[in-house]
Homo-oligomer: A and B are copies of this chain.
Amino acid sequence: MKYILDANGLDKGPEVVIAAGKRAVKEGMDITIIGKESIRDQVNMSGCKFMLATEEISTEEKNPAFAIRKYKDSTITKGLYALKNGEFDAFVSGGSTGAVLAGGTLIVGRIPGVKRSALTIPIPNVNGKLSYLLDAGANVECTPDMLYEFAVLASNYVKSAKGIENPSVMLINNGIEEEKGSSLTKEAYQLLKNSNLNFKGNLEGRYIFDGQSDIIVTDGFSGNLILKCLEGEFIFINHLIKKSAMENFFNKIAMLVLKKSFKRNFSVLDSNQYGGVPLLGLKKVVIKAHGSSDECAFYNSILAARDAHESGMIESITNIFAKEA
């Protein structure tokens, strides 16, 4: 299995990608890093192969689909073409989510029968396990059959790559009753209910950490909103904890005692530690790593690519959509 890693796009620079690639090479993996001339020597020294791409798509890029077409020699465009052409089995990038999504669809292409690809994000739960939420923002406006399709894609991903048999599916809604919600959620509910999926009904935002479901389905606007609000509240609560610690001398000492445990336990809410997430529905494995990834997180993204590829997820999804067609 051959991997191609995008050197661009990370907050902490290409050094992170090179360090993670070096670690993967040591583990016997076949790694190529695509990036600018300036990193060639460093990449070669790391034991990874180097591929040159002279252009870069900014993470601030407002029109990612346009950028993919315009910057043909960017790491994302060139890397995804190399993936499509069979030179590699998986592409891992911490670059612009929009560009990776657009490039994945435009260059690699969707599995026949799949209407939209979707981003899946792991959500920790009180049982110490993970639920998988999608769409995390790839498709702002969704139809009921898209939500159904997301559930099919995620069920396969979770079964193949995570080894969960007959994963449960729930639908984000503003109430648990079947008749609740918008026209989108009401219709999607019926599609899911009448499917072969292990559908367990509506899920209110209040319960997303309760581990009631392996898969949590929602439209991309809501998925993005959920993740961003959770991120905002996490920062706000950390602010309140720090404020409490600073109130007096004893609090300061007590916080020093608790600090390590807090950091370790709170880390489940840090999306970084889960490595990258696959763009589901594409013909090849494309993994989106977090822009703020460190070496460990980016290495985990390479492992996510391996799991997705070796699990036979792509073949499994291809077969299912061939049957549904």
The chain A residues found within 8 Å of chain B, CB to CB, are 62, 124-126, 137, 140-141, 172, 174, 177, 179, 181-183, 204-210, 220-222, 224-237, 239-241, 243-245, 247, 250-251, 253-255, 257-258, 261-262, 264-266, 268-269
Chain B residues within 8 Å of A228, by CB: 174, 204-206
Are A241 and B229 within 8 A (Cβ)? no
Q: List 19 A-B contacts (CB under 8 A).
A: A62-B177, A141-B183, A174-B221, A182-B221, A204-B228, A205-B228, A208-B229, A209-B236, A221-B222, A226-B229, A229-B229, A229-B230, A230-B230, A234-B237, A240-B265, A241-B265, A243-B265, A245-B261, A254-B255
Chain A interface, >50% SS class = helix
Copies in the complex: 2
Partner of A209, one of B204, B232, B247: B232
- Nearest first, the 6 A-B pairs at minimum CB distance are A205-B228, A205-B229, A254-B254, A244-B261, A254-B257, A209-B236
8 further interface pairs, Cβ-Cβ under 8 Å (given A140-B174, A181-B221, A243-B265): A174-B228, A205-B230, A208-B229, A222-B222, A229-B229, A230-B230, A237-B266, A241-B265
Chain B residues in 8 Å Cβ range of A240? 262, 265-266, 268-269
Among candidates B229, B235, B236, B251, residue contacting A257 with C-beta atoms closer than 8 Å: B251
